[in-house]
Amino acid sequence: MRILPAPAGTGVVFRRVDLDGFEVEAVGRNVARVSYATSLQKKGVLISTTEHLLSAFIGIGLDNALVELDNLELPILDGSAQLFVDMVLEAGLKQQRRRRSYLRILREIEVREGNKFIAVYPAPGYTVAYTIHFASPIGEQSFEIDLSRDLYRKEVGPARTFGFLREASAMKNMGLIAGATEANVIVLTETGVKNGPLRFPDEFVRHKVLDLIGDLALLGKQIIGRIVAHRAGHAMHTALVSRLLKDRTLWEETTEPLLAACLPDGRETARHASRQA
């Protein structure tokens, strides 16, 4: 995989260099399969496991990039977004002249499926609150982050994907997790973490937040709003994307948001939108 600069207004575009440079835009209309990962597809050309890279781009404010691949699947690296973040920041970001365009939520929307739930509400910044509930040894975990406070790199980016050892054989029989190893997945047994230590005590829910940020990047713009998710996953994340894109009364496009963040002592900070990078 290679990440290249792109002109302002391009968005994120994947290019399959092994298929004569065929391009697939990272937008909701190209969502293909969502189960254990989010895949894009255009005219039969597939791009798989996009969420970690797209999450990293949102987390560091990268709006426009051309991502070249010689394979249908993005590298998993260590199972988090941190290496993508580090490599892009090491290469450097360039501020572009066009102002960043945001999608400001105007009315709430909720998606429910049994005991699963995801919603977005109007808010001045971009916050995500997530609750997960898995079998032992994970149990229930909750995490919330205000992305307008530039916390992604420290609090979300390093969180790795995870899986239960008891499910590995069945998933491999389905053609999944072919590249999974203890170097890129937190492996869970009946009694605990097989390949610790964890990077955070609640690394599991933080990774779900990472995934959600990446899936919502398929809106094509950063959100101004509050996302609340409970036991959701890729399918519900992308269902919310689809619902938002289909109903233009739920949001407005703006280039001049005021991003406000409440500090622990109750004080509020604010900053205007930066230019595109």
The predicted structure's pLDDT at residue 209: 98
Across-strand partners of 67?
3, 14
User: What are the DSSP calls for 148-161, one per residue?
Assistant: GGS-HHHHTTTPPP
How far apart are the C-alpha atoms of 235 and 254, rounded to whole Å?
27
Active site residues per annotation: 234
The predicted structure's pLDDT at residue 18: 97
The predicted structure's pLDDT at residue 130: 98
Mapped onto helix, strand or coil, the DSSP state of residue 188 is strand
Question: In degrees, to the nearest 5, what angle opens at C-alpha 100 toward C-alphas 99 and 105?
Answer: 130
The predicted structure's pLDDT at residue 273: 37
The predicted structure's pLDDT at residue 266: 39
CB 103 within 8 A of CB 224: yes
Which residue segments constitute the domains of the chain, with CATH numbers given? 2-272 (3.30.1700.10)
Across-strand partners of 15?
23, 68
How far apart are the C-alpha atoms of 96 and 217, rounded to whole Å?
19
The predicted structure's pLDDT at residue 177: 58
Segments of the chain scoring below 50 in pLDDT: 258, 260-274
The predicted structure's pLDDT at residue 182: 85
R_g over Cα of the chain: 18
The predicted structure's pLDDT at residue 275: 56
The predicted structure's pLDDT at residue 31: 96
